[in-house]
Amino acid sequence: MDQTLIVKDQIHIEAPLSKVWEVLVAPKYIRQWDDLPSGFDDYYLEPGRVIEWTGITKLTVTESEPNALLRLSLYVDKWEQPPAAYDIAYTYRLSEEAEGVLLQLEIGDFGVLEDGQAYFDSSIEFAKTALEKIKNLAENRL
């Protein structure tokens, strides 16, 4: 496929940068805005940390700049090629603004997959829902 399928969304959060980062990397918060496998311990997301749903999906923290950038590379077991053949990731970028934090989320590129459109479509909904939950957690509204 030659089509680029990258989900891009963002949200403004009225909270300190360090609080938004905590919501992104601490399992006690992640469990409130995304799924974690049942056996995942309370390890903070740091470079090299792997979140694995055995036989289904694997996320690996490939980049982490505290209070700035978190990137989790995605691999799904049913994809036909090995993980190195893909550059599909969840990338969270944080930047301070006058009244809080801008959180930008990119998911993809699903264009390399045969069924990439389906992953793209479901990721649009995930991005919207996850960003709203992250905002509420960081602003202590939950």
Could you write out the DSSP letters of every residue in 116-138?
HHHHHHHHHHHHHHHHHHHHHHH
Report domain extents, the chain.
Answer: 7-138
- Helices in the chain by DSSP H: which ranges? 17-25, 27-33, 116-138
Residue type, 56: I
What would the pLDDT profile of 50-61 be if each residue is shown by its tens digit? 999 988 899 999
CA distance readout (Å), 61 to 9, 94, 115: 20, 16, 24
Does the domain at 7-138 match CATH 3.30.420.10? Answer given as no
Express each pLDDT in 3-45 by its tens digit.
Answer: 899 999 999 999 999 999 999 999 999 999 999 998 898 899 9
Pairing of strands 57-65, 50-53: antiparallel
